[in-house]
C-alpha cells in the first residue's frame, strides 16, 4: 500500500507507474482494499455548475487521486449524475466502477462558493461521504485537496497527504530560493532568497517554521524562519560550522551539528537558540541527526567505524549513551530519516557508484532499495509514511522525485529552468493531526 505525492511544478510531470492496469472485479467491496498491486476504479463526475468557476474542483481531486497511483479513473460517457438518484448503477457496475464522486457547486451572492459532494459506493449503492463546504474562490484548490484526502482515507484506510505542503530549494544561476508549495507543486512561493547556498530544510512539527542552513555569513549558519511572518533568526551561529538541523517531535528542541568543539558533533539546542547541550562525543564525524517519533532517540550518520553508516543513540540518560550501528550493507549509508511508525527508516545507500534511496526495518534489519537512479539524496517521508520525496538528477539537472515506500510507484517532478533540490515534506495540517 502506498499512495501519493504530487507536483505538477508548473510544467513537466512525468509519471512512471511500475504497476498499472490490473482492473478489479466489478463488484468488489471497495472498503476491503489494502493490497499493493491493485487500483480502485473510480469515476469523478464534473460537479454541477463547475464550469462557471475559475478553478475546477473535480480536476484537482482527480489529479490528486491519480497521482497516488492507487486509483484508476473511469470517465463518464453519457450520463452526468449530480445526485445519487441520477446514478444508473447497473451501467456503472458494468463499466467496472467501484466508487463515484458526484456533486454541485453554487456561486453565492457574496462571492463565496458552496461545494457539495458525495462519495458513492457503486456496488452497494450507498453514500460513503456526504459533505459541504462554503469557501472563497481562492480556496477552491484547498477544498479539492481536503475532498481528495477524505475520499482517499475512506477508500484506502490510510491518511491522505493532499493537503500538506512541501519545501525545497530552487537554484537558478547563483540565486537560491527556499520555496514552499502545496503537495501537488501548486502555489509555490518563495520564503527567502539568497545569492548563497541554502541546504538542509527541516519543518517544525507544527508546520509553522522551517529551519535551514545558509551561507550568507561566509560559513554555514542555522536559521529558523517563521513562514507566516517571514521573521527569521540565527539559532546556531557558533564559531566554525553550524548545520543539519532536526526538530524534536515536540518542537521544543533542535538537534544541530556544530564544529565549535572540533570535528562535527551533534548538539541539542532549544528552538530559540538557548540551552546548548552536547549529545555525541567522538573523534569521528557525527552528523544528520533525526529524531525517533517518540523523541527518545536519534539516528544519525557517523564514520566512527571507518565508513559513513547509520547509528542510533538515546537522547536522554547520559550514562549509557552508547550508539548502536544500524546499517551494515555497503560502505556508504547516509541521511537517515525515521518512518512515523518508528519501526522503519530511510536513508541513502551507495550502490557501486550509484546513490539510492533505501528503506530498512529496525526490527529485522531487512533492507530494500527503492530507487535505481544515479544520484539520489535528501530523502523525506510524507507524513503518512507512504511516499518518499527525494532529490535526484536527470541530464545533469536537479529534480525532485517521489517513490512509494514499497518502491512500486515513482514520479518525477522538475521545473523548466534551474535545479530543484533539498526537498522536505511538511507535517499534516493542524486540523488533521491525530497526535
Partner 1 sequence: MRKILSIALVVLLSACANKTINPDGEEGSQANTGAMSGENASGSPTVNPLVDPTNILSKRSVYFEFDEYVVSDKYKSMVLSHARYLRDNSNLSIRIQGNTDERGSREYNLALGQRRADSVKRVMTLAGTQDSQIESVSYGEEKPRAVGHNEASWTENRRADIRYQGE
Using CB under 8 A as the criterion, which residues of the chain lie in contact with partner 1 when the complex forms? 174, 195-197, 199-200, 215, 218-220, 239-241, 243-244, 257, 259, 262-264, 285, 287-288, 301, 308, 332, 334-335, 348, 350, 355, 375, 377-378, 396, 422
- Residue 168 CB neighbour total at 10 angstroms: 30
Q: Are 179 and 191 in contact (CB under 8 A)?
A: yes
Name the minimum Å distance from CB 281 to partner 1.
Answer: 15
Q: Is 70 left (phi over 0), alpha (psi -120 to 50) or beta?
A: alpha
* Minimum CB–partner distance for residue 262 and partner 1 (Å): 6
- What cell numbers appear for 422 in the block? 533539498
**Which residue, 200 or 204, is less far from partner 1 as judged by CB?**
200
Whole-number minimum distance, CB 288 to partner 1, in Å? 5
Cell numbers describing residue 219:
560559513
Taking the complex as a whole, how short is the minimal distance between the CB of residue 404 and partner 1, in angstroms? Answer: 23
Q: Which three cell numbers stand for residue 164?
A: 500538506
Please state, as a whole number, how many other Cβ atoms lie within 10 Å of the Cβ of residue 46: 19
Cβ within 8 Å of residue 396, ≥6 positions away: none
Q: How many CB atoms lie within 10 A of CB 37?
A: 11
Q: Supply the DSSP symbol for 375.
A: B
- Minimal distance in Å, beta carbon 332 to partner 1? 7
The Cα-based distances of 345 to 33, 96, 204, 212, 426 in angstroms read 25, 38, 19, 22, 17
- For partner 1, the closer CB: 97 or 198: 198
Cell of 20: 498499472
Residue 284 CB, nearest approach to partner 1 (Å): 9
> End-to-end distance of the chain based on CA atoms, in angstroms?
22
Q: Which is nearer to partner 1, 114 or 393 (CB)?
A: 393
| Residue number, 128 or 213, with CB nearest to partner 1 | 213
CA 12 vs CA 118, 186, 403: distances in Å: 32, 13, 17
- Minimum CB distance to partner 1 smaller for 47 or for 300: 300
C-beta of 175 vs 343, nearer to partner 1: 175
d(CA 65, CA 67) in angstroms, rounded, equals 5
Q: 344-351 and 419-425 as β-strands: parallel, antiparallel, unpaired?
A: unpaired
**Between 379 and 407, whose beta carbon lies closer to partner 1?**
379
CA separation for the pair 289, 342 (Å, rounded) = 15
Nearer to partner 1 by C-beta: 200 or 271?
200
**Complex with partner 1: residue 143 or 310, whichever CB lies closer:** 310
20 or 328, CB closer to partner 1?
Answer: 328
The CB-of-161 to partner 1 minimum distance in angstroms stands at 25
**Overall residue count recorded for the chain in this entry:** 435
**Minimum distance from CB of 334 to partner 1 (Å)?**
4
C-alpha cell at position 43: 469515476
Q: How far is the CB of 196 from partner 1 (least distance, A)?
A: 6
Cell numbers that stand for 312 in this block: 542510533
- DSSP single-letter state for residue 137: G
**Helix residue ranges per DSSP H, 274-418:** none
Strands 126-135 and 297-302: unpaired
Cell of 404: 512509494
* Shortest reach from residue 389's CB to partner 1, in Å: 16
Amino acid at each position: 500500500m502506498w499512495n501519493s505525492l504530487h507536483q505538477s511544478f508548473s510544467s513537466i510531470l512525468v509519471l512512471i507507474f511500475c504497476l498499472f492496469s490490473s482492473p478489479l472485479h466489478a463488484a468488489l467491496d471497495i472498503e476491503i482494499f489494502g493490497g499493493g498491486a491493485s487500483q480502485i476504479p473510480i469515476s469523478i463526475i464534473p460537479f454541477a455548475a463547475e464550469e462557471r468557476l475559475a478553478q475546477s474542483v473535480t480536476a484537482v481531486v482527480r489529479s490528486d487521486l491519480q497521482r497516488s497511483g492507487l486509483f484508476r479513473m473511469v470517465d463518464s460517457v453519457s450520463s452526468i449524475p449530480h445526485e445519487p438518484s441520477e446514478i444508473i448503477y447497473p451501467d456503472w457496475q458494468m463499466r467496472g466502477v467501484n466508487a463515484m464522486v458526484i456533486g454541485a457547486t453554487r456561486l453565492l451572492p457574496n462571492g463565496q462558493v458552496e461545494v457539495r459532494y458525495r462519495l458513492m459506493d457503486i456496488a452497494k449503492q450507498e453514500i460513503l461521504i456526504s459533505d459541504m463546504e462554503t469557501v472563497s474562490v481562492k480556496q477552491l484548490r484547498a477544498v479539492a485537496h481536503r475532498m481528495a484526502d477524505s475520499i482517499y482515507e475512506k477508500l484506502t484506510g490510510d491518511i491522505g497527504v493532499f493537503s500538506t505542503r512541501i519545501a525545497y530549494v530552487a537554484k537558478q544561476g547563483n540565486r537560491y530560493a527556499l520555496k514552499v508549495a502545496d503537495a501537488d507543486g501548486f502555489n509555490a512561493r518563495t520564503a527567502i532568497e539568497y545569492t548563497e547556498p541554502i541546504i538542509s530544510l527541516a519543518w517544525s512539527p507544527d508546520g509553522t517554521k522551517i529551519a535551514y542552513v545558509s551561507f550568507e555569513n561566509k560559513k554555514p549558519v542555522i536559521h529558523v524562519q517563521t513562514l507566516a511572518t517571514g521573521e527569521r533568526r540565527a539559532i546556531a551561529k557558533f564559531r566554525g560550522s553550524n548545520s543539519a538541523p532536526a526538530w524534536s517531535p515536540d518542537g521544543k528542541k533542535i538537534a544541530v551539528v556544530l564544529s565549535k568543539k572540533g570535528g562535527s558533533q551533534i548538539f541539542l539546542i532549544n528552538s530559540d537558540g538557548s540551552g546548548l547541550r552536547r549529545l555525541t562525543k567522538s573523534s569521528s564525524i557525527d552528523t544528520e541527526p533525526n529524531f525517533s517519533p517518540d523523541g527518545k532517540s536519534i539516528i544519525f550518520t557517523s564514520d566512527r567505524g571507518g565508513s559513513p553508516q547509520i547509528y542510533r543513540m538515546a537522547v536522554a540518560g547520559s550514562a549509557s549513551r552508547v550508539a548502536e550501528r544500524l546499517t551494515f550493507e555497503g560502505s556508504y549509508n547516509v541521511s537517515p530519516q525515521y518512518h512515523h511508525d518508528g519501526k522503519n527508516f530511510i536513508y541513502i545507500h551507495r550502490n557501486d557508484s550509484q546513490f539510492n534511496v533505501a528503506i530498512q526495518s529496525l526490527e529485522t534489519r531487512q533492507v530494500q532499495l527503492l530507487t535505481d537512479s544515479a544520484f539520489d539524496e535528501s530523502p523525506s517521508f510524507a507524513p503518512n509514511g507512504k511516499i518518499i520525496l527525494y532529490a535526484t538528477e536527470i541530464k545533469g539537472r536537479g529534480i525532485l522525485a517521489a517513490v512509494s515506500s514499497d518502491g512500486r510507484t515513482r514520479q518525477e517532478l522538475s521545473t523548466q529552468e534551474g535545479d530543484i533540490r533539498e526537498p522536505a515534506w511538511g507535517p499534516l495540517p493542524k486540523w488533521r493531526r491525530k497526535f
